[in-house]
Amino acid sequence: MTVIDYSAMALFVFLWMAYAWITGQKRILKRTSLTMAMAERRREWILNSLTRDLKMIDTQIMGGLQNGTAFFASTTIFAIGGCFALLGATEQVDAIIKDIPYIVQGGRAAFEMKVSGLIALFAYSFFKFGWSYRLFNYCTILFGTIPMMAEAEKDPARSREAAEITIRMNIIAASHFNAGLRAIFYSIGYLGWFVSPYIFMLTTVLVFIVLLRRQFFSEARLALLSDRER
């Protein structure tokens, strides 16, 4: 490990935290992020459920959210297993790396440390997806507390409170899902460290730019926002 390795790792952590902070703000540079715009659409969806008795479509949406979260949680488990298999074949991998040009040779200890860091990334992602799955499950239960139209008309304050609680739980679950997905995206940039710390910095910056573009300049964002909100 050299000074440039530590610098690259510091940049990685900084850009990760910076991205999480930027997307968590309601507006940055007079622009609403895709994450915040989607949070408002979640609110509209659940409030809209107060105006209909047939809620099968809502349960289908909740099921889709849970299934997607479970898929990524399972994927991270396989990724962690692959990393441990890589640790068990360190000598063979090190021999292959030595024959590849342009790769900075850091030695076996450095390689094992980098793989351990990758395991930590996927473990963090798994815990985020696992907790998100649990919260979406809670959200499904909370959805059952939202009354039917007739009861909602009799006590609108209680109905609105039940909907707001469900909204908050859904948004929190989505934030943990996004955190897990962010770790997977940044793990792509982390792979550059196996080539050299300079490539590590470059891939990290590229991932940061791509994610920011999706949040603030993508067609998906424009599709969610009205002309006034853009």
As to burial, measured by CB atoms within 10 angstroms (0-12 exposed, 13-18 middle, 19+ buried), residue 123 is middle
For position 178, what pLDDT does the model report? 94
Residue in the structure block whose two tokens are 């622009």: 31
Return the pLDDT at 86.
82
Rounded to whole angstroms, the Cα distance separating 122 from 80 reads 6
Q: How many CB atoms lie within 10 A of CB 62?
A: 20
Task: Give pTM, 2 decimals.
Answer: 0.88
Angstrom distance (rounded) from CA 230 to CA 25: 15
Measuring CA to CA, which residue among 33, 4, 1 is closest to residue 202?
4
Q: Can you give the pLDDT of all 230 residues of the chain as single tens digits?
A: 788 888 999 999 999 999 998 888 777 767 888 888 899 899 998 888 888 877 788 888 888 999 999 999 999 999 999 888 888 777 776 666 666 666 666 677 778 888 899 999 999 999 999 999 999 999 999 988 888 888 878 888 888 898 999 999 999 999 999 999 999 999 999 988 888 889 999 999 999 999 999 998 888 888 887 655 55
Q: What is the pLDDT of residue 145?
A: 86
Tokens 């105006």 belong to residue:
51
Q: How far apart are CA 63 and CA 75, in angstroms?
A: 18
Q: Which helix (H) or strand (E) holds 37?
A: helix 34-48
Q: What is the pLDDT of residue 210?
A: 94
Q: What does the DSSP assignment read for 49-66? A: GGG-S--HHHHHHHHHHH
| pLDDT confidence of residue 101 | 63
